[in-house]
Amino acid sequence: AALLPGAPAAAAPASCRNNGNGITEFCDQHIGTVGPRGAIGLLGDSVLLGSASGMSTPSLPTMLSNNGFGPVHLSTTLGMTTFNSSASKRDASAFHWLTRWRDAGFSPSIIVVNLGANHLGTCTPSSVDVCLARIEQLLREVAATFPTTTVWWAKVVQRSFPSGAATAGMTGWNTALDRAASRWPNLIVWDWPTALATANPPIVTDVAGIHPNSSAQYVKRSTLMAEHITTRMSSARFDGRRGALPAADTSGLGFAPVTETTIYSTLANGVRFAAGETRDIDLSAEPAVDDSAQALALTVSAKNSADAGWLVVFRCGDPMPPTSNVNFAAGAFRTAQAVTKITGTGHICVHTSTATDVIVSIQGNFLPAGGAALHPISPVRPLDTRNTGRARDLVVAVPGGEVLAASATLTVTGPSAGGTITVHACDPVVPAVANLSFEPNETVAGAAFVPVSAAGTICVHIDTADTALVDVIVDITGTFSAGPGGLRLVPVFGTRLLDTRTGTGGWGGRHGTGQAVDVVAAPPGARAVTGTITIAHAVFDGYLTAYPCGEALPPTSSVNARAGLVMANSVTVGVNPQQQTMCIFGFKNTDTLFDVVGWWVEATS
pLDDT tens digits, residue range 543-561? 999 999 999 999 889 999 9
- Residue-wise pLDDT tens digits, 405-429: 999 999 999 999 999 999 999 999 9
Radius of gyration of the chain measured on its C-alpha atoms: 27
Residue 87 has pLDDT above 80, yes or no: no
Answer for the pair 592, 519: CB distance below 8 angstroms, yes or no.
no
pLDDT at 2: 41
pLDDT at 232: 78
Closest CA to 114 of 151, 159, 169: 151
Average of per-residue pLDDT across 311-315: 97
Closest CA to 215 of 380, 58, 332, 354: 58
- Residue-wise pLDDT tens digits, 122-147: 888 888 999 999 999 999 999 999 99
Closest CA to 596 of 506, 508, 534: 534
pLDDT grade for 8, boundaries at 50, 70 and 90: very low
Q: Give the C-alpha separation, 601 to 595, whole Å.
A: 18
Q: Which domains does the chain have, with CATH numbers?
A: 16-234 (3.40.50.1110), 239-246+488-605 (2.60.120), 254-367 (2.60.120), 376-481 (2.60.120)
- Residue-wise pLDDT tens digits, 314-334: 999 999 999 999 999 999 999
Closest CA to 490 of 386, 384, 341, 286: 341
Average of per-residue pLDDT across 207-231: 93
Answer for the pair 131, 168: CB distance below 8 angstroms, yes or no.
no
pLDDT at 585: 96
Amino acid found at 229: I
Residue 37 has pLDDT above 80, yes or no: yes
User: SS in 3 state form for 196-243?
Assistant: HHHCCCCCCECCCCCCECCHHHHHHHHHHHHHHHHHHHCCCEECCCCC
**How far apart, in Å, are the Cα atoms of 201 and each of 48, 197, 219, 585?**
20, 10, 11, 38
Q: What percent of the chain has pLDDT over 90?
A: 79
pLDDT at 85: 82
Residue 103 has pLDDT above 50, yes or no: yes
pLDDT at 7: 52
CA dihedral (75, 77, 80, 83) in degrees, to 10, reads: -50
| Mean predicted lDDT score pLDDT of the chain | 92
pLDDT grade for 3, boundaries at 50, 70 and 90: very low
What does pTM read for this prediction? Answer: 0.76
pLDDT grade for 1, boundaries at 50, 70 and 90: very low
Roughly how many angstroms between the first and final C-alpha of the chain, as a whole number? 78
Write b or e for each residue in 410-435: b if 16 or more Cβ atoms lie within 10 A of its Cβ, otherwise e: bbbbeebebbbbbbbbbeeeebebbb
pLDDT at 6: 54
501: left (phi over 0), alpha (psi -120 to 50) or beta: alpha
Average of per-residue pLDDT across 223-230: 92
Q: Pairing relation of β-strands 237-238 and 507-508?
A: antiparallel
- Residue-wise pLDDT tens digits, 199-212: 999 999 999 999 99
Average of per-residue pLDDT across 349-363: 98
- Residue-wise pLDDT tens digits, 240-289: 889 899 999 889 999 999 999 999 999 999 999 999 999 999 999 999 99
Q: Give the C-alpha separation, 501 to 217, whole Å.
A: 28
Amino acid found at 303: K
359: left (phi over 0), alpha (psi -120 to 50) or beta: beta
pLDDT at 78: 92
Average of per-residue pLDDT across 570-585: 94
pLDDT: which is higher, 37 or 315: 315
Element (H, E) at 378: strand 373-384
